[in-house]
Each structure stands twice: as structure tokens, then as C-alpha cells.
A and B are shown apart, each in its own frame.
Chain A
Amino acid sequence: MSETVQSSDFDKTFTKEIFEEPGAEKIALCFNCTGCTSGCPMAEHEGNYNIRKILRMANLGMKKQLLNDPYIWYCTTCYKCQERCPQGVQNVDALLKIRTIAVHSGIMLGPHRKVGQVVVKFGHAVPINDDTKVKRKKLGLDEVPPTVHKFENGLKDVRKLLKLTGFDKLVAEEEKK
């Protein structure tokens, strides 16, 4: 048995913040048909992942529980649930908003932080490596693609944008305590 939910746990400003995302406010119209969860490819393999539950918790304003719920990171953003929802709830967009609030509260998974840092450094989430350089050469392509990898000014601009939006700080390593 899970613990009883107390209304004192609800934070309606959290719900309001999520509802800023267009289509997320339709969570309030959910009548629990379970079309979203029954077709979810992730739920088929990970029974603890339940998009309907996540969005119901969002509607109630269960901020602390949701932001610390490891399963908000399991969605593959396949959009199947969003396409099928008879009430037009933008499930995935709402979930991404919940993740955004988590990240801005300092909650993010290590591997995601790393990807962010790699983009800050290289401008690519998956940068070139020696093995691929050999493959490119065999195909008659330049060893380095004509992206930020080849054009330094492009990389400078990307880094400038990431600084302006504060993304570089957002994904910077936490200070060691």
C-alpha cells in the first residue's frame, strides 16, 4: 500500500508552472481512460513507469514527489500517448516541462549532464573520433565534417549562445561538498 496523499503536500504553483506549456493544461481534462499507459512501449518493459500517474500527480501539484521520481527520465518521447489521448493532453510536452523544472531545481541525471557538457565543449552531442575519421576517409569524405568541428567560429558562436542562455552553468559540475 502506498501512503495516503495529503492535500497539504500539494503545490498549486507547480501545477500552474507546468500548465504554461501549451497543451499541458489539458491534464485537468483527463478522465483516466488509461489509453496513454496501455500503449506505452516503456511501460511494457518497465512497469513502474506510468505517464498517467505522473501527469495526475502534476495536476495535483505533487512537486516534491515528482521532481525526485526517477521515472520522469524513462520516457523515450515516442509521442504515442500524446497522439492517442482523446482529451488532447500534450503528455510529452508536459513531461518535458516537468523535467525542465527538475533540472532548474538542481535535479538531473549524471549521464544527461555529461551530454550537455560535451555539447558545450564540442558543439556536438556525439563528437568525431579516430575510428570514424578512418571510415570517412575510406568513403572519400573529408576526415572532419563541415560542421562546428571544422569551423571554429561556428563553435565560438554556439558556446556564446550556451553562455547567454545559462546552459553552460546549468550543466557545469556540481561543486564538491
Chain B
Amino acid sequence: MTKLSFFLGCIAPNRYPGIEAATKKTLDKLGVKLEDIEGASCCPAPGVFRSFDKDTWLALASRNIVLSEKMGNDILTVCNGCFGSLVDANHILKHDPVLKEKVNNILKEIELEFQGKIDVRHIIEYLYKDIGIEKIKSAIKKPLDLKVAVHYGCHLIKPTKERHLGSAENPRFFDELVEATGAKSIDYEDKNACCGAGGGARTAVLDTALKLVNNKLKHMKDAGVDCVVDACPFCHLQLDVGQTEIKTKFGDEYGIHILHYSQLLGLAMGFSPEELGIDQNFVKNSEFMRKIGGVHNE
């Protein structure tokens, strides 16, 4: 059985634990054992930390990486933000001996050392490259009859220099994963547009950040989708909680149910919506919940 360290980050365990539960359940079915990184922290959030102080950003990120190095496992993230911080920090420290020494001088104080022995993986590219579409298809028990708006988010694919996932202009791998569940990926206007949350924008300039996601939700709704499937708890929060904020601030209402890919895959593997926390969103669509066989309490 393949082993990976499960890096939880902040928003998945502390706001959308359904993503955590769904990831554990689905990867177990695919023969991947996930191990906790005991005492892991914030990745740290690239918006504030990478903006404020690169040394601090590298020190905290490297601590998380080293905890997994000690376990002898590659890291699995379910979040584009965590992936962005950890994959970029790992890459920088593996290739820049000066920064590596600087960081190790700091880590020494907590008796850790960055060695550069492991890789950082994102669940989407891991499933696509290492598990493969065919194996995922063979694990599907209940093919889904759903029209899905796929939201890649930004840091899964960009910057491309450290990702090796092909062009960021027109990616397809996530759509293929969604379609492996039986669902149909529906094209929509400006599909690769940012959700607006990153870089500290949601934190500091919320109203403007919401304009970006409002636009995105409008395009998704116009395409007539049943739900949105994303790859990042922060995009997830912006798309889900963002709908309630948009309703209050701008009066627009969408009622679109937001799923992380782990939750979509879980449904297709036969888990109930409740086991996957799909009923725990802030915006719930009762028609969608009925469609996937869930119990929906208004």
C-alpha cells in the first residue's frame, strides 16, 4: 500500500471537514494509506506570509515539509494554497543552497533540518498521474449523472515552472478526472478565471474579491450546471460562503452547491452525501441534494 502524509492545512479541517473525511475515504479505496503529520501548522498562507516576509514563509513551510521528511513520505495536499506554498518552498530550498542554509540555521533551533528528500503532491495531479483514470473508473460504483462546472483554481497549475502539468491556458486533466465519475464537465465562460480569494485579497478587499467570484458564479449558472467541483478549500469557501455575502451585498442569488473533487469521487464510489459532509455547506441546494440521494434539512 502506498503511504502519503496528509497535510490538512487550515480551511479543510477547520471549516470544511467533509473534504478531510472524503479524502481519507476515497484514497483508502484506491489503496493509498494517509498518515497524519502530527503538529503540522498553517502552510503558511502565501497571501500574507509570502507577501510579508519570505524567510518566515520558508521557515514555516519547511518545518511542515521536514515533519513529513522524517516520516519518509511524500506530502499530499488537498488545497491549492497549501500546494502553492509547500511545492514552491520545497522547490526553492532544493535548488538554492544559500536559502537552504539560512532556513536550516533557523530550523536548527527546533532541532529540525531540511534535507530535500520528498515531493509535495496535490490530490488532483496525484490522482491523475499516479493512480490514473482507468483505476479510478474501476473504483466507481454509482456513476454520477451530473453536469459539473470544474474550477481548477490558480495555484494547482500556476506558476507552471515548478508544476510540470502542461499549459495553464487550457488544462484538461481535472476535467478528465471529473468525467471518470460519470459526470459531465460543462464548459463555461472564463472557465480558468481566478475565484478572487488569493493573495490576501479576500482578507483585505472583500467587496472587490467578491466581484470576481460573482462573475464566475454567473457564468457557471448560465451554463446550467448542477454543481461546482473544485480542488481547493479556499476557493471552496470563496464560492460557498461568497454566495451568502454576494446575496447580502449585491442582491444576486445563485444557490449553487459546491463540492471538492474528493467529495464528488466519494459519491461515485457509493458513499452517502452525509458521510462526505456535502450537507455541511453554507449554501445548500435541495434539488441537488435530492439528485444525489441526500437528506436535506432547510
> Chain A residues near B17 (CB, 8 Å)?
132, 135-136, 139, 141, 145
Number of interface residues of B (CB under 8 A): 64
Complex contact B42–A119 (CB within 8 A): yes
How far in angstroms is the closest Cβ of chain B from A70?
9
- A76 & B199 in contact (Cβ 8 Å cutoff): yes
State whether A100 and B10 are in contact (beta carbons under 8 Å apart), knowing that A74-B205, A83-B159 are contacts in the complex. Answer: no
CA distance A96 to B85 in the complex (A): 13
| CB-contact partner of B197 in A73, A76, A79, A135, under 8 A | A76
Q: Hey, what's the 0/1 contact readout for A9-23 against B, CB within 8 Å counting as 1?
A: 000000000000000
Chain A residues with CB under 8 A of B242: none
B20 in contact (CB, < 8 A): yes
Q: Give the contact stretch, choosing among B207-215, B249-257, B290-298.
A: B207-215
CA distance A166 to B37 in the complex (A): 26
Judge if A26 is at the interface, Cβ distance under 8 Å: no
> With the chains together, A119 CA to B265 CA distance in Å?
32
Instruction: Count chain B CB atoms within 10 A of each CB in A96, A141, A161 and give the residue with the most.
Output: A161
B contact residues around A111 at 8 Å (CB): 200, 203-204
Is there contact, CB below 8 Å, between A77 and B198?
yes
- Is A170 an interface position by the 8 A CB rule? yes
A147 contact set on B, CB distance < 8 A: 8, 13, 37, 39-41
Interface string of A92-115 (1 = CB under 8 A from B): 100010011001100011011001
- Asked whether A100 lies within 8 Å of B59 as measured between CB atoms, the reply is no
Query: Which residues does A use to contact B, with CB under 8 Å?
Result: 41-42, 44-46, 73-80, 82-83, 92, 96, 99-100, 103-104, 108-109, 111-112, 115-116, 119, 123-129, 132, 135-136, 138-141, 145-151, 153-155, 157-158, 160-162, 164-167, 170-171
Q: Which B residues are within 8 Å of any A CB, using their own CB? A: 8, 10-11, 13-15, 17-18, 20-21, 36-42, 44-56, 59-60, 63, 106-107, 109-110, 154-155, 158-160, 168-169, 193-194, 196-201, 203-205, 208-209, 211-212, 215, 274-275, 277, 280
